[in-house]
Amino acid sequence: MLDTKFGFPPSSPAAAPPSRAPATGAAPNLKRRRREGEGDAGADADMREEAVERLRGVVRDSVGKHLYTSAIFLADKVAAATGDPADVYMLAQALFLGRHFRRALHVLNNSRLLRDLRFRFLAAKCLEELKEWHQCLMMLGDAKVDEHGNVLDQDDGSDIYFDKDAEDHEINIKSAICFLRGKAYEALDNRDLARQWYKAAVKVDPLCYEALECLVDNYMLTCEEESELLASLKFGKEDGWLSAFYSCLIRKHEKEYVVEAKFKELERESCSISSSSGQMMKNNIDVLACKAEYYHQSGEYQKCFELTSVLLERDPFHLKCTLVHLAAAMELGHSNDLYLLSCNLVKDYPQKAISWFAVGCYYYCIKKYDQARRYFGRIDIMLPFLQIIQDMFWDIQLCPQSYQMYSTLIYVFPISKATGLDGTFPPAWFGTGIAYAAQEEGDQAMAAFRTAARLFPGCHLPTLYMGMQYVRMHNFKLAEQFFMQAKSICPSDPLIYNELGVVAYNMKEYQNAVQWFELTLTHTSSSSNEMWEPTMVNLGHALRKLKQYKKAISYYEKALTFPTKTLSAFSGLAYTYQLMDDFEAAITYYHKALWLKPDDQFCTDMLTLALETSCQSTARRK
């Protein structure tokens, strides 16, 4: 008997149990309910997946908005709910970006998913941030690399848990691993292996610009090795612009028409990524900064300064361009610009070496050399990218024929970013050596240059500076050896040939001196640049010694076409005319030389002699 009010069976214990025999039509009802239950479960699963996917989207958005605490909180819940490797990686990535390196490493180690390259790479990045370099290398594996940057064995595992469809739009993970190995070896002061792994990183994927930047800016490759590496890179058919840019980046000692051709090629190739016929790439600030660097290397200081001034108006915080601008301002003696720029840099970047370098430039420009050295000295342990100009503290006259070149030419042009406190960067050592040399402390200068030469085998400047020191000490044989070594590292730098000519001249090997000076002018980007006026004077002196007076006169006259019009050119021309018994011309040019320096003893004595000889010749004719 049923309770008619609620439809439940009566609660009385005397009630009869329900019959076990199903009523007619009960089975179809059960099947229908089972299907409805399964449908509800599927709907619940879809809803859960939708909710999880929504949280993943929020995590990605939080990372994009730099809300790392929110991203970590939500990613942790997603990873706990799904246990999916991609979600575990997302959590570790959020922890890494939030600078929780130990926790991120713990999550990755506990995931037991380190067979995957991306998991191992992220774990190694955590160890990098913790400065645990040996553990970082162990995490990355034991692959070997040869001298040419070819990876000999790949024990890196494989990408197991990630979809590879997007890899065409990414930098190859193996390239990033090679680059991180290079950084670890460099931090451990194993620069040979660091160089090899950086080369491997660029070879695996030419889009890994950081690796090439480390190789170029830290002088790890000679000019020949740079060209070989560039030739070995396998660019995609749409990456022609990148190949052209890399060519512009490493070829700054080439002739003007070669470099200009490379920039034109870059504009042409950039059409593949720009719809404006290459105009966007042509006006790109990195490309123009590279061109400004070339102008400075070629001695076109005014053009360089004008270009960098325009670039810094567009982007006043572009530090690479700022370095070039400082160097040009130094050469031109623009102390006001240096003062304003150094003030702004110290205010905006008090922890960056470029700021104190700018202060040192200002003090040098106003001829307060002690203060300049003090500020440059502050960079010794923290500057990975210092430009050094030869006329900075090089106030001594190394050779009468090439003093002006010494005082204005040499300039180190590495383009890079500040990276940690480290005393193993080339510019700081160069600056230290040059500062010591300026104060007649040759032993300390040589020690600094020797260390730089050992640390940076791809840079020819330390050996060039050591050769100059030996010229100053009149040890021409040793100087010649160092100049030849510099030539083997960078055979396209014309200054090396000028120095070899100076050595040959002082050793009275005048024919060799002529050949070296002619090679100097051959290697210059433009011989019409007044920067090479001392070389023409040097060549005139050497030709005069060989009694080739007419050729000597032609080079002296070429030197006098420049606005500089040096005493050496006038006196050399006058003396040559005197040797040819053309006393009238000799007297004229001696007077012009004495107008520049009235107390010059050589010109005074030779003028007296020329006047006496001329009077005697006139008397005899009468």
Residue 527's pLDDT is what?
A: 64
Q: Report CA dihedral (377, 378, 384, 390) to the nearest 10 degrees.
A: -30
Supply 306's token pair: 């004008």
Residue 90's pLDDT is what?
A: 95
Break the chain down into helix, strand, coil percent, rounded to 5: 70, 0, 30
Out of 59-63, 164-168, 215-219, 493-497, which region has the weakest mean confidence (pLDDT)? 164-168
Out of 57-66, 342-351, 465-474, 610-619, which region has the weakest mean confidence (pLDDT)? 610-619
Supply 212's token pair: 């090439």
Q: Report which listed range, 212-216, 415-419, 490-494, is most confident.
A: 212-216
Residue 1's pLDDT is what?
A: 39
pLDDT(158) > 70? no
3-state secondary structure of 151: strand
Per-residue pLDDT tens over the stretch 335-394: 999 999 999 998 998 887 778 778 878 887 887 777 777 777 555 434 333 333 333 333
Per-residue pLDDT tens over the stretch 536-581: 999 999 999 999 999 999 999 999 998 888 899 999 999 999 999 9
Give me the mean pLDDT over the 193-210 stretch: 94
Neighbouring residues of 108: CB distance < 8 A, sequence distance ≥ 6: 88, 92, 114, 119, 122, 123, 126
Rg, C-alpha atoms of the chain: 36
- Alpha-carbon distance of 253 to 525, in angstroms, equals 7
Q: Report which listed range, 273-282, 354-363, 420-429, is most confident.
A: 354-363
pLDDT band of residue 284 (cuts 50, 70, 90) is: confident
The angle formed by the CA atoms of residues 389, 462 and 521, to the nearest 5 degrees, is 65
Nearest to 129 by CA among 155, 101, 151: 101
- Alpha-carbon distance of 291 to 297, in angstroms, equals 10
pLDDT band of residue 40 (cuts 50, 70, 90) is: low
The number of C-alpha atoms within 13 Å of 377 and in the hemisphere containing its C-beta is 9
**Residues 496/490, Cβ–Cβ less than 8 Å:** yes
Q: What is the domain class of 379-488 according to CATH?
A: mainly alpha
Give me the mean pLDDT over the 411-425 stretch: 36
Name the phi and psi angles at 531, rounded to 5. Answer: -60, -30
Q: Report which listed range, 74-88, 217-231, 259-273, 383-397, is most confident.
A: 74-88
pLDDT band of residue 407 (cuts 50, 70, 90) is: very low
- Alpha-carbon distance of 555 to 533, in angstroms, equals 9
Q: Looking at per-residue confidence, does 344 or 112 come out higher? A: 344
Q: Which residue has the tokens 């020949």?
A: 224
Q: Is 256 exposed, middle or buried (0-12, 13-18, 19+ CB in 10 A)?
A: middle
pLDDT(463) > 80? yes
Name the percent of the chain lying above pLDDT 90: 45
Residue 104's pLDDT is what?
A: 96
Out of 20-24, 507-511, 597-601, which region has the weakest mean confidence (pLDDT)? 20-24
Q: Report which listed range, 2-16, 86-100, 382-396, is most confident.
A: 86-100
DSSP 17-47: PPPSSPPTTHHHHHHHHHHHHHHHHHHHHHH
**Residues 390/408, Cβ–Cβ less than 8 Å:** yes
Residue 508: left if φ>0, alpha if ψ -120 to 50, beta else—which one?
left
Q: Is 17 exposed, middle or buried (0-12, 13-18, 19+ CB in 10 A)?
A: exposed
DSSP 421-450: S-S--HHHHHHHHHHHHHTT-HHHHHHHHH
Nearest to 322 by CA among 300, 299, 297, 349: 349
Per-residue pLDDT tens over the stretch 50-78: 888 999 999 999 999 999 999 999 999 99
Average pLDDT of the chain, as a whole number: 80
Give me the mean pLDDT over the 279-298 stretch: 82
Residue 202's pLDDT is what?
A: 95
Supply 172's token pair: 């190859």
Name the phi and psi angles at 249, rounded to 5. Answer: -70, -35
